Structure formats: structure tokens, C-alpha cells
Amino acid sequence: MNKPILELQGVKTIVNKGTSSETTILKGLNLKINEGDFITIVGTNGAGKSTLFNVIGGNLHADEGKILHNGQDITNTTEEQRTAFLSRVFQDPKLGTAARMTVAENMLLATKRGERRHLIPRKLKSNMDRFTKLAATMNNGLENRMNTATGALSGGQRQALSFLMATIKRPDVILLDEHTAALDPHTSLNLLHATNERITKDHLTALMITHNLEDALEYGNRLIVLKDGEIKADFNAEQRKSLTPEKLYTYFEG
Ligand SMILES: Nc1ncnc2c1ncn2[C@@H]1O[C@H](COP(=O)(O)OP(=O)(O)OP(=O)(O)O)[C@@H](O)[C@H]1O
């Protein structure tokens, strides 16, 4: 039995508290994320998927329940404190990278995650080989643009850089928030393949939100369906084998 790297116990989030529009988004969520889990998450619009990531990431606080990291209660820690073990890639390629800095500088910055940030040019030079090799694993020419300002990259290259930055320090948990959704089909598939390769080869722990049911079934070792702020289904690798996109779709109905 794997030990959970992250655990949510009865997590509730309530917005607009005390007003007529008070809403409970997550309704007492229980979730154990084991080391090496690669979980795909699907659910209708408004099911609470991003809220789940916000609550794990510390951008939103749980109104009830607990969040444990390696058994330690982190419920009341800040987003910044959680960056020491957690990283997130958003849908928007503009988030997650500094536009005016070069690809290599952004990567160096990412190696300082959770630490005091000092850019030391000498360190950039000595890391260039490693960074270039890492960039080449994304299969989209990023390795030829190491000294280019990030704002001048294509959306796919920028998103690939965000992913590399999120994984460069080997966080305990990576949150992928529809990170390929804003890309064209070819670029999106390329990034998904690179993502999958990196996560499985390096045995990283990741959660990936997607609206593509085929992708949800193809990648990862576990699939969660969120509905109305609750976990409707949690399939392990074995159970997933008998699922099809059509069967999965039935969880969205009603
Ligand atoms: N800060 C907030 N204030 C008020 N309502 C909110 C807030 N954050 C989320 N909601 C509402 O909570 C519900 C869940 O939102 P959330 O963004 O988590 O859904 P989602 O599953 O990620 O949806 P989508 O697939 O559209 O991205 C939605 O109805 C949303 O409008």
C-alpha cells in the first residue's frame, strides 16, 4: 500500500459567505493522492475542478476539513509556502513564465522555487547545457531558443517551458490545469506526449484536468470524475481498462 503524498479530508469550500449568493463549491471532499499517481480529472463546467486545484495550491482556503502533505497538516499554510513542494501549470501560456526574461533565465528562476531568488549569470552559463538538453525533450525546437525572450515564443513553446519550469525541481505534486487546452491539436498532442513521458519516466505525482475524455482514459493511472463539488467516481488503472469515452460520458448526464 502506497502512502498518500497528499490527502484531503472532508474539504469544504464556501464562497460569498454570509450573503444571499453563498455557495458551497467543494462539498466535503475526501481524496488520497499516492506517490507516483498520475490522476486525470474530468467533470462538467462548474464541477469544482479548478477550485480543487486552488484549494490544494493554497490560493483558496478550505472552510472545513484538512489537507495533509506527507501526513503533516498544511491546511493553513499559504500558497507561497506550498510552492516548496507543489507546482501548477495553467491553461494560459502567458501565466507561469516571465515574458521579458529568456528561456534559460526562466529555467534558472524555476530552479530557485521556494528559495530566495538571485540571478547569478555565472550559474546561468554553467547550467546552459543541462537546460538545453531538458528543452530538447519537449520536441518543439525550444532548445534552439534558449536566449530568446519568452514573450517571443510560440504558445506551444511557452507552455512547454511552463511545464519544464514546473517540473525542474521535482515537486512532490504537479497540478496540470488544462495545460494543453489553448493549443492547436498538433501542438497539444505533442505537449501531452512530452508531459506523459516526463511524468512516467521520472515517476512524478501529477493531477491533470482535461475536458478530453479520450485523453483522460489514455494518460495516467487513475481517473476521477468530479460532479457538483463531489467525487462521483475514482477509477484505478484496472477499472479504467473497461471504460470507453461513451461510458465515461454517462457520468456527466443527469
Ligand atoms: N471565488 C468564487 N466566487 C464565486 N463563485 C465561484 C468562485 N470560484 C468558483 N466559483 C463557482 O464555483 C463553481 C465551480 O467552479 P470551478 O472553476 O472550480 O469549476 P470547474 O470544474 O473548474 O469548471 P470549468 O470546467 O468551467 O473550468 C462554479 O459554479 C463557479 O462559478
Residue whose entry in the numeric block shows the C-alpha cell 555565472? 122
Please tell me the distance between residue 50's alpha carbon and the centre of ligand 1 in angstroms: 7
pLDDT bin (cut points 50, 70, 90) of residue 2 is low
Number of domains making up the chain: 1
Predicted confidence band at 243 (pLDDT cuts at 50, 70, 90)?
very high
**54 Cα nearest atom in ligand 1:** 18
Ligand 1: residue whose CA is nearest its atom 16:
48
Rounded Cα–Cα distance for residues 129 and 166 (Å): 19
With contact defined as beta carbons under 8 Å apart, do 165 and 106 qualify? yes
Q: Which residues of 152-189 are buried (b: 16+ CB within 10 A; e: fewer)?
A: ebbebbbbbbbbbbbbbbebbbbbbbbbbebbeeebbe
Confidence of residue 252 (pLDDT cuts 50, 70, 90): confident
For residue 95, pLDDT beyond 90: no
* Cβ–ligand 1 contact at 26 (below 6 Å): no
Terminal CA-CA length for the chain: 35
Cα of 169 to ligand 1 centre, how many Å?
30
Is residue 33 over pLDDT 90? yes
- The span from the CA of 156 to the CA of 138, in Å, is 10
Is residue 182 included in any domain, yes or no?
yes
Cβ contacts of 80 within 8 Å, gap of 6 or more: 58
Q: How far is the CA of 100 from the centre of ligand 1 (A)?
A: 31
The answer to the question of residue 194 being in a domain is yes
Which atom of ligand 1 sits closest to the CA of residue 21?
Answer: 4
| 115-127 pLDDT tens trace | 765 555 668 888 9
What average pLDDT does range 73-78 have in this prediction?
Answer: 96
Q: What's the pLDDT score for residue 1? A: 52
Cα-Cα-Cα-Cα dihedral of 88, 89, 92, 94, to 10°? 90
pLDDT computed for residue 118 by the predictor: 59
| Ligand 1 atom closest to the CA of 44, numbered from 1 | 25
3 state SS of 200 = helix
Residue at 10 is within a domain: no
User: Which CATH number belongs to the domain containing residue 85 in this structure?
Assistant: 3.40.50.300
Does residue 176 sit within a domain?
yes
What is the model's pLDDT at position 11? 97
Determine which residue's CA is closest to atom 25 belonging to ligand 1.
Answer: 45
Q: Indicate whether 234 belongs to any domain.
A: yes
Position 146 in a domain: yes
ipTM: 0.94
Sheet containing 38-43, strands listed edge to edge, beginning at the edge strand earlier in sequence: 86-89, 173-177, 206-209, 38-43, 222-227, 230-236
25 lines ligand 1 (CB under 6 A): yes
Query: Could you read off the pLDDT of 166-225 as tens digits, one per residue?
Result: 999 999 999 999 999 999 999 999 999 999 999 999 999 999 999 999 999 999 999 999
Domain residue limits at 170:
35-59+75-251
Assigned domain for 247 exists: yes
Separation of alpha carbons 199 and 34, rounded Å = 14
Query: Rounded to an integer, what distance in angstroms lies between the CA atom of residue 46 and that of residue 3?
Result: 30
Q: How far is the CA of 52 from the centre of ligand 1 (A)?
A: 10
How much is the pLDDT for 157? 95
